């Protein structure tokens, strides 16, 4: 069990490292996500073949999965854009609102009642966001994009909670990565004409970009996902939820480490006291959420009431 717990924390550490890699890779966010999803799709296809799993699905089901993949693409593009518009720390503080977004979207999509403690935690998160925005006012645009990106992440997490009941997780993620890659390919003509100031696509990679992209797509996406699915067979949803919520903590600590190591591009990672206070308020609401969820489930079991399906929130 100790080995499983350590492996889970390592996976979450890798997910926290994605914003760092997004800052290190030289290509713009749209091209970066194209390369990430292309490599991830190839890696997942290889995994499906090695495990002798079929990727055949009904046409309508395939369209649904590809559509969620397009949503994933927009989430990742805005995520990396937020890290470049602001700092990695501010970006991850905005992404920490994922639990808040899920508590708002899940009742609407899953048709379950709103839980009172989620409303209170949502208000706490809003207070934390206010403190962060006041402390880092010059990075407000990046913070706003990160919060929007967290909302997209919560949306496809809720959709996946339904889809994972119909498809094996590995096949589901393969189609979503493929959908993300194809949607960006379709977007490229419009993007190169109206969003690049007539500079065209920037798909050429620098030597170090190959290393960072292989880490991002191969290790942080394919390996991390396949390993997390395996761990779900042995660890409880509560443990996984609680650990995944540590992703912003690990990411901010890594960003500060990059600042201390004087890595170019991370000079703005030294934040004010107000930023850290606001981030602590957000993280408290995020980390206490699964604890209250488990308490709510135990109470429901005692009262012999139906228990809502658990949603695992995290990077695909």
What tens digit of pLDDT does each residue of 6-62 get?
A: 999 999 999 999 999 999 999 999 999 999 999 999 999 999 999 888 888 999 999
* Per-residue model confidence (pLDDT) at position 281: 92
Angle at 94 between CA 92 and CA 100, to 5 degrees: 120
Residue 262, helix vs strand vs coil: coil
Average pLDDT over residues 270-275: 83
313 pLDDT band (50/70/90 cuts)?
Answer: very low
* Helix 237-244 and helix 2-16, axial crossing angle in degrees, nearest 10: 40
Residue of 272, 313, 314, 251 lying closest to 93 (CA atoms): 251
Indicate the DSSP class of residue 304.
Answer: T
The predicted pLDDT at position 108 comes to 83
pLDDT reported for residue 307: 54
What's the pLDDT at 220? 93
pLDDT reported for residue 304: 65
Residue 276 has pLDDT above 80, yes or no: yes
Q: Give the model confidence (pLDDT) of 236-268 as tens digits.
A: 766 777 788 888 989 988 988 888 888 877 866
Q: What confidence tens digit (pLDDT) does each residue in 190-241 have? A: 999 888 887 889 999 999 999 999 999 999 999 988 888 778 778 776 677 7
Here the tokens at position 46 are: 């290889």
Whole-number pLDDT of residue 312 = 46
Percent of the chain with pLDDT over 70: 95
Convert 113-131 to b/e letters by CB count within 10 Å (16 or more is b): eebebbeebbebbeebbeb
The count of other CB atoms within 10 Å of the CB of residue 51 is 10
Q: Tens of pLDDT along 87-126?
A: 899 999 999 898 888 888 888 887 778 788 888 888 899 9
């Amino acid at each position: 069990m100790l080995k499983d717990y350590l492996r889970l924390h390592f996976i979450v550490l890798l997910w926290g490292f994605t914003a760092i890699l997004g800052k290190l890779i030289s290509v713009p966010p749209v091209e970066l996500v194209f390369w990430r999803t292309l490599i991830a799709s190839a890696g997942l296809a290889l995994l499906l073949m090695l495990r002798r799993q079929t990727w055949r699905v009904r046409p309508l089901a395939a369209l649904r999965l590809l559509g969620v993949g397009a949503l994933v693409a927009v989430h990742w593009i805005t995520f990396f854009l937020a890290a470049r518009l602001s700092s990695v720390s501010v970006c991850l503080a905005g992404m920490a609102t994922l639990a808040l977004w899920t508590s708002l979207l899940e009742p609407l999509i899953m048709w379950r009642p709103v839980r009172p403690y989620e409303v209170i935690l949502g208000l706490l998160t809003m207070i934390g966001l206010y403190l962060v925005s006041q402390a880092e006012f010059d990075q407000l645009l990046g913070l706003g994009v990160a919060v929007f990106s967290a909302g997209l992440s919560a949306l496809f997490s809720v959709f996946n909670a339904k889809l994972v009941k119909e498809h094996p997780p590995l096949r589901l993620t393969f189609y979503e990565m493929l959908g993300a890659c194809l949607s960006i390919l379709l977007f490229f003509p419009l993007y190169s004409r109206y969003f690049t100031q007539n500079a065209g696509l920037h798909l050429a990679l620098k030597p170090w970009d190959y290393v960072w992209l292989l880490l991002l797509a191969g290790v942080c996406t394919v390996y991390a996902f396949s390993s997390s699915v395996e761990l779900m067979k042995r660890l409880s949803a509560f443990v996984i939820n609680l650990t995944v919520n540590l992703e912003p903590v690990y990411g901010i600590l890594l960003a500060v480490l990059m600042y201390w190591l004087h890595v170019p591009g991370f000079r703005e990672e030294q934040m004010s006291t107000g930023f850290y206070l606001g981030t602590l308020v957000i993280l408290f609401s995020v980390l206490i959420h699964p604890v209250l969820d488990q308490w709510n489930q135990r109470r429901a079991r005692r009262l012999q009431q139906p228990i809502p399906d658990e949603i695992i929130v995290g990077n695909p």
